[in-house]
Amino acid sequence: MNLIETKGVHHAYETPMGPLPVLAGLDLAIPESSFCAVVGPSGCGKSTLTRLIAGLLIPDEGEVWLDGAQVKSPRKTVGMAFQNPVLLEWRTILENVILPLEIVAPGMPRKQRVDRAMELLDMVGLTGFENKRPSELSGGMRQRASLCRSIVHKPRVLIMDEPFGALDAFTREDLWQTMRDLRAAEPFTGVLITHDLRESVFLGDQVVVLSDRPARTQHVLDVTLPADRTLDILYTPEAGEMLHELRDQIRIAQNRNEAA
Amino acid sequence: MNTLKKVGVPIVSIVIFLLFWEGLVWINDWPKYKMAAPSDLPDAFWKFRWLFLEMGWQTLWRTVIGLVLAVLVGGALGMIMGLSQIFRGALYPLLVGFNAIPKATLVPVIALIFIGQHDFNTVLMAVMISFFPIAVSVSIGLSTLEPEYRDILRALGASRFTIFRKIALPKTLPEFFGALKVSVTLAFIGTNLVEIVSPHGRGLGALFKSGEINGNYPLMFAVLIALAILGIVLYYLVVIFEKIFAGWAERPQT
Q: Are A160 and A150 in the same domain? A: no
For B91, the domain range is 50-245
The nearest alpha carbon in chain A to B248 belongs to A90
The reply to whether residue A82 touches residue B248, judged by beta carbons under 8 angstroms, is no
Domain span at residue A103 reads 85-154
Residue A160 sits in the same domain as residue A101: no
Phi/psi at A100 (5° precision): -60, -30
The answer to whether A60 and A11 have CB atoms below 8 angstroms apart is: yes
Question: In this structure, is residue B190 part of a structural domain?
Answer: yes
The per-residue pLDDT for A37 is 94
Task: Tell me: do A128 and A41 sit in the same domain.
Answer: no
Predicted pLDDT at B108? 84
pLDDT in tens, chain B (254 residues): 688 888 899 899 999 999 999 999 999 998 888 888 999 899 999 999 999 999 999 999 999 999 999 999 999 999 999 888 899 999 999 999 999 999 888 888 888 888 778 889 899 999 999 999 999 999 998 888 888 888 888 888 888 889 988 998 899 999 999 999 999 999 999 999 999 988 777 899 999 999 989 888 899 999 999 999 999 999 999 999 999 988 888 765 54
Per the domain annotation, does B23 fall within a domain? no
Domain shared by A95 and A162, yes or no: no
Q: For chain B, what is the domain count?
A: 1
Tell me which of A154, A179, A199 is where a domain ends: A154
Q: Which residue of B has its CA nearest to A86?
A: B149
- Count other Cβ atoms within 10 Å, centred on residue B1: 6
- Based on the domain organization, do A167 and A141 belong to the same domain? no
Residue of A nearest to B149 (CA): A86
| A100 part of contact set with chain B, CB < 8 Å | yes
Q: What pLDDT does B242 receive?
A: 93
Q: What is the pLDDT of residue B32?
A: 81
Based on the fold, state whether residues A150 and A163 are members of the same structural domain. Answer: no
Q: DSSP secondary structure string, chain B?
A: -HHHHHHHHHHHHHHHHHHHHHHHHHHHT--TTT---GGGHHHHHHHTHHHHHHHHHHHHHHHHHHHHHHHHHHHHHHHHHHH-HHHHHHHHHHHHHHHHS-GGGHHHHHHHHTTT-HHHHHHHHHHHHHHHHHHHHHHHHHHT--HHHHHHHHTTT--HHHHIIIIIHHHHHHHHHHHHHHHHHHHHHHHHHHHHHSTT--SHHHHHHHHHHTT-HHHHHHHHHHHHHHHHHHHHHHHHHHHHHHGGGSPPP-
Q: Are residues A247 and A176 in the same domain?
A: yes
Based on the domain organization, do A182 and A116 belong to the same domain? no
Query: What pLDDT score does B83 carry?
Result: 86
- Does one domain contain both A33 and A132? no
Residue A6: in which H helix or E strand, if any? strand A2-15
- CATH number for position A223: 3.40.50.300
Low-confidence ranges of chain A (pLDDT < 70): 256-260
Are residues A45 and A109 both part of a single domain? no
Q: Are B154 and A82 inside 8 Å of each other by CB?
A: no
Nearest-Cα distance to chain A for B111, in Å, is 45
Q: What number is the ipTM of this complex?
A: 0.79
pLDDT in tens, A159-180: 999 999 888 999 999 999 999 9
Strands A189-193 and A18-31 turn out to be unpaired
In a domain? residue B215: yes
How far is it, in rounded angstroms, from Cα B227 to Cα B209? Answer: 14
Min CA distance, B193 vs chain A (Å)? 39
For the stretch B149-187, pLDDT in tens is: 888 888 888 888 899 889 988 999 999 999 999 999 999
Q: How far apart are CA A186 and CA A10, in angstroms?
A: 32
How many separate domains does chain A show? 2
Per the CB < 8 A criterion, the answer to whether A76 and B162 are in contact is no
Regarding whether A230 and A173 lie in a shared domain, the answer is: yes
Which 3-state string (H, E, C) describes B73-136?
HHHHHHHHHHHCHHHHHHHHHHHHHHHHCCHHHHHHHHHHHCCCCHHHHHHHHHHHHHHHHHHH
Are A177 and A216 part of one and the same domain?
yes
Write the CATH number for B86: 1.10.3720.10
Q: Is B155 on the interface with A (CB under 8 A)?
A: yes
Task: Determine the residue of chain A that is closest to B163 in CA distance.
Answer: A103
B249 has a chain A CB within 8 A of its CB: yes
Q: What is the pLDDT of residue A216?
A: 87
Please report the number of interchain residue pairs, chain A to chain B, with beta-carbon separation below 8 angstroms.
Answer: 66
